[in-house]
Structure 1
Amino acid sequence: MERNRSLLEVKPFHYDVIINVGKVILGEQKRNKLQKDQRYQEKVKVKQAACALLNSGGGMIEIEMANEEEHSIEMGCDLEEALRELIESRDFHSFFETKQQSGYFYIFVKSWSSGPFSRDSSLMPRICSLSSSLYYRSETSVKLMNSEKAFRFLNEKKSNATEMSGNCPPRKNPRYEDSELDSPNKVFQRDRFEYGEILPFPESRYVEFKQFSTKNIEKYLKCTISEYIPAFANEKGGYLFIGVDDKSKEVLGCPKENVNIDKLSGIIEESISKLHTYHFCDSRPMAVDYESKIINVFKNGILHSFLCIIQVKAFCCAVFSGNPSSWIVKDNEVCSLTSEKWVQMMMGDTNPELSEDFESQLNISESSPSCRPVYTKKGLKHKKDLQQQLFPVKPGSLLLTPTSLWTELCSEHEGLQELMNNQLHPFFQGVLILSRSWAVDLSLKENKRVLCDALLIAQNSPPILYTILGEQDADGWFYCTKTAFTLKQKLVNMGGYTKRLIVIPKLLHLCPESNVQSLRCLSSSIDYPKSYNLVDTCQMEALLQSLVVVMLGFRSFLSDQLGCEVLNLLTLQQYELISKNLRKHRELFIHGFPGTGKTIIALKIIEKIRNVFHCETNDILYVCENQPLRNFVGNKKICRAETRKKFMNDDYENIQHIIMDEAQNFRTEDGDWYAKAKAITQKNKNCPGILWIFLDYFQTSHTEDSGLPNFLVQNSKEELTKVVRNSDQVAKFLQKEIDRVRRKPPDNIPLGSLEMLHEVEWVQGVQGTLTTETNLTLKGTVDYVAQTCKSLFERGYSAKDVAVLLSTTKDLDFFYRKLRMKMRMLIGNASNLQNDHIVLDSVRRFSGLERTIVFGIHPHTADPTILGNFLVCLASRANKHLYILWHNVQCPF
């Protein structure tokens, strides 16, 4: 990603990003006395640090005051002007604030954001840059694009590529007026010139005249080519004449004794080959299209010099002179961006064109450069509503939440209530959000010595993160600062918070003497300006809504289909389940209706297990019945993943924790899987592992013994009853089939498990399709699928949206051949969902997975008592459009 690393130092182990730029002379008068080179070097260091912080969520520049003056001094006009250049037309004080303290000068830097400003923020660049390295022609000059012009230029190129359906537009030579007596193109065809000959056309937007340098020809050529060739290529092409006087238009060339023709050609080729290109179309890695000629120039019939002409054709996308000068902070180092990464960040993950079924939760164009699009399914709560339920701000009140956890913690730890009351005494309005480990909530490792954490969002104060220990711990301060730092970064770079922000860590102990020592650790802390305080309810709620995105956000399964990372938000029910104390819920049965997000929860719990118990990938095992779901989870690289059959045939000595998914379809044909899983997770009697089992009796696909414990002895149970996956039409079909299962359940489904149907909530608002066709021949079925897909593809859907599901695998070969012949598209099974193909597989093998469009081909079962369950499983795979096609039979429902 990064080209090279800066020499600037990022200070470690702090709760904010602090870049130390070393010693700098400050003050207007003293800076005016500095040598030009020193002024330039110091200015570059400050600009580079500011650029990196603007692009990385904000932070602070630390300047060691070389002039050692105790009284307050100004920064210096040249340094302030350098910072103004970075933010271009934006207000200086919106991004920078300064403070002098203890021999240091601090520049507080807010995260970059494109708005809100007077202009349309969607037309503003997503990142800050010192230089774009993009050149363009302005009349007869070459100019460097500033960030805003570069952003507009790239947007135009991207739009052109989209209109051309990803194909590179045809390249053309520069065009001139027909009335022109002699075009540069005709001159380019010549093979000799006379010294002093006057060219029959002037410089223009398409023509540049340059003379050869009298000193370092090689350096001059490289510099000229790196600017003028990209400038012509980025527009409509042009001609660069080197060896022509720009005033008189006289051909002079380069004296033959000063240059070697072969070396000259090599310099041109090498210089152009080093130009960087970026493609929005499918033409990569095509380089700049050019042709160069070195032509003899004669004087009185004798070879005198050489004229160099470079003809440049218009480039389809963007040509850079080199990598842009733009910086980020990564892994505690200041790193520069490559041209490819710079374009990606510059353009940003603008909100992808999702259907009206989704609602955006975050304005990407006004958020920090690292923010990703956040969406919820239509009908689900907006982040503002979730914030009001989870973290409400009430006038004149300081709320502690969740109250059940606060009561539990106070009963476990004597003195905690008094300790926190003393800390909260100055605050009168806000929210104190408790957690057993805010580190785990932020996907960091847990510290076992931490009793709890509490995040205070209060008026007239910056956010404060309290970490409470029972006794002194050498790693306590490191844990506290790292957690506060991570929270601040995520609130900005994931939650999209755009105001000034710092999260102050505060380490507390139940022992009062220890708190005195902790306060000494903070005595050297930097005092942040008052602008970092939360001033009112509106600002507190905005921050808490960013916190909702951080706490409830997860990578959407849509990301792979869209080609960019998109976040979804958990429902409150899902969030409450993930928030459970794993040490108190080591074994848990999670009953969830189809479409309630069981697999999402399973993945989130695996991540939590890793952080709570400090596990490695090979310590956690995910088990399911079918291979495609196993592959889907295995590709996440967060745990081992196996099928139930493989689980029963192998030994798992190193496994500590097990997650079982789609367990209603497990069988005991290979042995008692539940007993084996329990033995593995309980082998350490002092600290048993986690065994969570996800299941849905309504999707049971067989009548054999599943191996699940009797429903009545599943002592620790939770239910997921909010169905969020399916469109309204598919949901209605599911409701009818689920009710049929409830009324006439198969013998192997416990009656008690079906009572949860009364609590189900179907999220509405997404329009889709439910179509059933009967009495179709096999050929008619193939034709129907092909014709329907063609119609759907014309509406914008793609092969990655479609799954064709059969009742058994025996007919797969037939349908594969017929559909491939009819549709002439890639068709594959469900083993690799990331491939761009139509999925053709059985309903059972696709269990636990989903697609926007599902065709169910003649759904039937050997045992009619489970047909309802089978149809529930089939229908629940369809997010939006469901087509059920029957062969030569009437519809059975």
Structure 2
Amino acid sequence: MKMSHRSLVVELSCPDLVINVGKVTLGDQSRNELQETQRDHEKAKVIQAACALLNSGGGVIRLEMANEDEYPMKMGKDLACSLRELIQSSYFPAFFEFKQQGRSFYIFVKSWSNDALAEDSSVKPHICSLNSSLYSTSCSYVLPMDSREALQFLKKKKNDAKHSLISETETSPLSGISKADHHNTSESNPAYKVFQMKSLKHGDILPFSQSQSIEFEQFNTTDIEQHIINLIPRYVSAFANTGGGYLFIGVDENSRKVLGCSKEKVDLKSLESVIEGAISNLPLVHFCSSQPKMEYSTRIINVFKREELYGYLCVIKVEPFCCVVFSEDPKSWMVNEKNVCRLTAGKWVDMLTDTDPELISELAEAFESQLSLSHRPPLCRPVYSKKGLEHKADLQQRLFPDPVPSDHLRYTPESLWQELVSEHEGLEELIHRQMRPFSQGILIFSRSWAVDLNLQEKEGVLCDALLIAQNSPPILYTILGEQEAGGQDYCNSTAFTLKQKLVNLGGYTGKLCVMAKVLHLSAESNTESMEGAVCLISYPRSYTLVDTQQAEALLQALVIVLLSFRSLLSDQLGCEVLDLLTAQQYALFSKNLRKNRELFVHGLPGSGKTIMAMKIMEKIRNVFHCGTDRILYICENQPLRNFISNKNICEAVTRKTFMKKDFKHIQHIIVDEAQNFRKEDGDWYEKARTITQRTNVCPGILWIFLDYFQTCHLDESGLPPLSEQNSKEELTRVVRNAEPIVNFLLEEMQAIRNSPPDNIPSEYLRMLLEAEWARGIQGYLKIEEDLTREKIVTYVANTCKALFAKGYSEKDVAVLVSTSREVERYKHELLRAMRKKRILQLSDACDASGDHIVLDSVRRFSGLERNIVFGIHPSTPETAISHNFLVCLASRAKQHLYILWRSV
């Protein structure tokens, strides 16, 4: 982002993005009477605000009428034409609507989405831009690229860079450029011969004409340096982007006569400095790895008149560039927090060329797209979920069914509504009174919609309710117990965040606003008093929901807002990808923390316990207004501790560290993989309870995540007996593993259930009967027996090479052995076998997110996952837990599991 436009003000008093552009003259006649500079200045403010809102989720532009007229006025034809030009579409009403209220004129801007663009173009840019600032040459013309042309050009450049390797022996950045293009700047080109000359005569006719690689310009003797500065960006950009070329300054374009510039009017050193400065300021965007500088040469040729030096001819020779040269940063804007900012060339290219990630075939078979970037607002990210799990439409029907019932208004979740009514006398009457105007729709209650949106909870808020009703825009109600300052600000902020996320996260493409309304529940009178409305903008009728289809589209966007989280696919694909919680996981996440301060979460292998632990820590931070230094995450192993620590959402330690320190600053504790804890260093559970219950008035949170099926020891765990775990929840849906791996897990868990170790409560094992999983997800399970150590390492190396040829990489693979001692035994042999296959990256699990193959023990990899897992002789001396050990191993693998047994 670049610096903001100072004359544009982002207002903060409304639950929407409102940009105040100040005074603007309206009406054709009045605008025609303005000076051209004033008219252009006003137009620029409006266009920049419109572009920023189109790229930032939509909103409202507020214009203050500069006219003295009191009657309603049209905006002005030049402004309307500029807005139409901005979106490059004949379907103008899809993005803009207009309304005058008093002396304010409003432009309502819908978020950019290319589904509303003209259908006659197969290339639809992902963001809105007034000007790409990219040029190319065609025949004898230098032409600007519009957004569609720029997108095609950038895609080609990106594809060329992807499929061509730049040789390290090349001394110039011309790799990937065709010989024909390079010929334009070679010695066989007649322009090159002139470029090599030291002198010419005034009036000489150059032996070539303007062409795709040659342009003639004359010196502007009024302001030579400024003229050069104006010429260079478009010509140099065009030549660099289209095979190279020559710019001759001082030649008449029609007659080809050398005219030069009088020596009295130009300073050579200053001229060369101006040229160098202008070219060095051109933005470059690279797709290649070498990232060379743009190459050019400048030649000042003496021009003689009657044997005397008359002046100079300037020639700039531009080499073809491997990637992209802009004349300046594109004219495209976004809202960044409170500022309207111009996009840099690099950011603009990233957004314009942003596409769904390319999943290799096996991942594509396992994952289903829930939200594609195609036809979605610019800030959206792709959303995927495992095939076989609930689609966003299924989740919407499960969480918010029948959003516009034909005969009544539905309150949901019904259980929460009943809780709230029982807790707050008069709430039911208050809500019913507010809902009288609405006969069809859904009212969605939450103890805090702010927390649901990852904002901080506000003290004094009894609940929030979101109304999705027919013939009404969405309305967010905040119900306060007493008259409190800041209630409307809180409601506005929450409604604003909700609207932004519905568009920029949930991908909603319709016209949208969320109204904010504060209600007060008086314990004495049971009547409401509403704070004065702050946002007086009256939205057009098109911003209301008119049918079930619109309501369902909005609620499916809401599902993504509420249930999405950063997928671990992001690290593998190198871009931000979102995943969705299952309905079961969301039910756990939605629990009232104040009523569930201590909770044991029992989850089957691959049910997402660690993901839920991270989500709960984020929620704790918002509900209790505490910093990350007040939340402690405890696990058994260093690799999982490091993984969580890198998320910067808490303080993370191992159990051993926890038992050594006091942690007087900690208020809340999350324990993960607790089945593998031991009491060898003391009673960790009692210590955790003591810390979180220091304050009787407001005790902290203690949630413990565990799975007895993955218990990998026979010692006492320190967990209270199952019968004394008074508050429990279960996660029984396996979401991580492909079906062949799930089937293996089920067999091993059944073996555990048939003959459980002594330290596993038998009543827990009934959870296996509740197991669910996504069926039909392709995967691979291979068990090889009676292999020598040499055959094992060769098998791993050969299999990795074959999988990498299919699109997998080192970051997909984990090689797990029984013990840390085994790691050292296999490390050197495995590295030697891998290097023969040109696979070089191998490390332990302490950096599990790194771009390398992990080699570590099964126990140390507990809680982590990778697409491909090799288990080398996964045995343990304690035969009673051999099946548990295999469950722990297998549950780490998402797509491929290879179990390689060593011959004894």
Q: Per-residue deviation at 1:42?
A: 0.6
Q: Which moved more, 1:567-576 or 1:270-279?
A: 270-279
Q: Which moved more, 1:623-632 or 1:163-172?
A: 163-172
The equivalent residue for 1:310 is: 316
The equivalent residue for 1:660 is: 671
Asked if residue 702 in structure 1 is aligned to residue 713 in structure 2, the reply is yes
The equivalent residue for 1:373 is: 382
In 1: Cα distance, 2:865 partner to 2:692 partner: 30
Q: SS at 1:137's partner residue?
A: strand
Change over 3 Å in CA distance of 1:512–1:22 after alignment to 2: farther
In 1: Cα distance, 2:192 partner to 2:527 partner: 81
Asked if residue 70 in structure 1 is aligned to residue 70 in structure 2, the reply is yes
Name the aligned partner's letter for residue 197 of structure 2.
R
1:232 is aligned, of 226, 239, 246, to 239
In 1: Cα distance, 2:439 partner to 2:329 partner: 51
In 1: Cα distance, 2:534 partner to 2:749 partner: 63
The equivalent residue for 2:214 is: 207
Q: Per-residue deviation at 1:261?
A: 2.6
Name the aligned partner's letter for residue 392 of structure 1.
P
RMSD: 2.0
In 2: Cα distance, 1:298 partner to 1:813 partner: 80
Moved over 4 A (4+): 165-168, 175-182, 512-520
2:877 is aligned, of 859, 862, 865, to 862
In 1: Cα distance, 2:59 partner to 2:520 partner: 29
CA contact (8 A) 1:292 1:309 kept: yes
CA contact (8 A) 1:151 1:346 kept: yes
In 2: Cα distance, 1:177 partner to 1:283 partner: 23
Q: Per-residue deviation at 1:224?
A: 0.9
In 2: Cα distance, 1:166 partner to 1:686 partner: 66
Alignment of 1:871-890 (within 5 A): 871-889=886-904
The equivalent residue for 2:295 is: 289
Q: Per-residue deviation at 1:834?
A: 2.8
Q: Per-residue deviation at 1:516?
A: 9.1
Asked if residue 185 in structure 1 is aligned to residue 192 in structure 2, the reply is yes
Asked if residue 216 in structure 1 is aligned to residue 223 in structure 2, the reply is yes
Asked if residue 747 in structure 1 is aligned to residue 766 in structure 2, the reply is no
The equivalent residue for 1:720 is: 731
Name the aligned partner's letter for residue 359 of structure 1.
E
Change over 3 Å in CA distance of 1:512–1:54 after alignment to 2: farther
Q: Per-residue deviation at 1:520?
A: 5.8
1:355 is aligned, of 348, 364, 370, to 364
2:648 is aligned, of 630, 637, 647, to 637
Name the aligned partner's letter for residue 878 of structure 2.
D
Q: Which moved more, 1:32-41 or 1:136-145?
A: 136-145
The equivalent residue for 2:506 is: 495
For normalisation by structure 2, the TM-score amounts to 0.95
Name the aligned partner's letter for residue 101 of structure 1.
Q
The equivalent residue for 1:777 is: 788
Matched residue count: 888
Q: SS at 2:371's partner residue?
A: coil
Name the aligned partner's letter for residue 531 of structure 1.
S
The equivalent residue for 1:464 is: 475
The equivalent residue for 1:339 is: 345
Q: Per-residue deviation at 1:268?
A: 1.8
2:545 is aligned, of 528, 534, 549, to 534
Asked if residue 423 in structure 1 is aligned to residue 429 in structure 2, the reply is no
Name the aligned partner's letter for residue 259 of structure 1.
V
2:584 is aligned, of 573, 580, 597, to 573
Alignment of 1:364-763 (within 5 A): 364-393=373-402, 394-511=405-522, 519=530, 521-522=532-533, 525-763=536-774
Q: Per-residue deviation at 1:119?
A: 2.9
In 2: Cα distance, 1:512 partner to 1:62 partner: 40
Name the aligned partner's letter for residue 449 of structure 1.
G
Structure 1 residue runs of 5 or longer lacking an equivalent are none
Name the aligned partner's letter for residue 486 of structure 2.
D
Q: Per-residue deviation at 1:731?
A: 0.8
1:299 is aligned, of 305, 310, 322, to 305
In 1: Cα distance, 2:621 partner to 2:122 partner: 39
Q: What are the superposed Cα offsets for residues 852-874 of structure 1, whole Å, 9 maximum, x if unpaired?
A: 00001111101111110010000
CA contact (8 A) 1:588 1:693 kept: yes
CA contact (8 A) 1:586 1:689 kept: yes
For normalisation by structure 1, the TM-score amounts to 0.97
Change over 3 Å in CA distance of 1:5–1:652 after alignment to 2: farther
Asked if residue 853 in structure 1 is aligned to residue 862 in structure 2, the reply is no
Q: Per-residue deviation at 1:90?
A: 4.3
CA contact (8 A) 2:117 2:124 kept: no
Name the aligned partner's letter for residue 119 of structure 2.
R
In 1: Cα distance, 2:356 partner to 2:132 partner: 20
CA contact (8 A) 1:176 1:183 kept: no
In 2: Cα distance, 1:735 partner to 1:179 partner: 69
Name the aligned partner's letter for residue 295 of structure 2.
D
Q: SS at 2:309's partner residue?
A: strand
Q: SS at 1:2's partner residue?
A: coil
Q: Per-residue deviation at 1:94?
A: 0.6
Q: What are the superposed Cα offsets for residues 8-51 of structure 1, whole Å, 9 maximum, x if unpaired?
A: 11111321111111111111111111111111111111111111
CA contact (8 A) 1:121 1:365 kept: no
Q: Per-residue deviation at 1:837?
A: 0.8
Q: SS at 1:115's partner residue?
A: helix
Q: SS at 1:364's partner residue?
A: coil
In 2: Cα distance, 1:596 partner to 1:632 partner: 18
The equivalent residue for 1:123 is: 123
The equivalent residue for 2:170 is: none
Q: Per-residue deviation at 1:271?
A: 1.4
Change over 3 Å in CA distance of 1:417–1:700 after alignment to 2: same
In 1: Cα distance, 2:189 partner to 2:679 partner: 88
In 1: Cα distance, 2:507 partner to 2:525 partner: 37
Q: Per-residue deviation at 1:517?
A: 8.7
Name the aligned partner's letter for residue 804 of structure 1.
V
Name the aligned partner's letter for residue 356 of structure 1.
E
Q: SS at 1:599's partner residue?
A: helix
Q: What are the superposed Cα offsets for residues 326-372 of structure 1, whole Å, 9 maximum, x if unpaired?
A: 11112111111111111112222434435221111113121111000
The equivalent residue for 1:84 is: 84
CA contact (8 A) 1:722 1:760 kept: yes
Change over 3 Å in CA distance of 1:153–1:203 after alignment to 2: same
In 2: Cα distance, 1:283 partner to 1:798 partner: 22
Q: SS at 1:860's partner residue?
A: coil
The equivalent residue for 2:11 is: 11
In 2: Cα distance, 1:706 partner to 1:166 partner: 57
Percent identity (aligned): 59
Q: Per-residue deviation at 1:163?
A: 2.2
Structure 2 residue runs of 5 or longer lacking an equivalent are 168-172
Q: What are the superposed Cα offsets for residues 478-522 of structure 1, whole Å, 9 maximum, x if unpaired?
A: 111111111000000000000110111111112399999954612
Q: Per-residue deviation at 1:70?
A: 2.6
In 2: Cα distance, 1:176 partner to 1:715 partner: 80
In 2: Cα distance, 1:122 partner to 1:781 partner: 51
CA contact (8 A) 1:115 1:121 kept: no
In 1: Cα distance, 2:189 partner to 2:704 partner: 81
CA contact (8 A) 1:174 1:238 kept: no
Name the aligned partner's letter for residue 374 of structure 1.
V
Q: What are the superposed Cα offsets for residues 703-730 of structure 1, whole Å, 9 maximum, x if unpaired?
A: 0011000111000000000001111111
In 1: Cα distance, 2:383 partner to 2:234 partner: 39
In 2: Cα distance, 1:311 partner to 1:851 partner: 52
Asked if residue 32 in structure 1 is aligned to residue 35 in structure 2, the reply is no
Q: Per-residue deviation at 1:296?
A: 2.4
In 2: Cα distance, 1:515 partner to 1:552 partner: 35
1:250 is aligned, of 243, 251, 257, to 257
Q: Per-residue deviation at 1:179?
A: 15
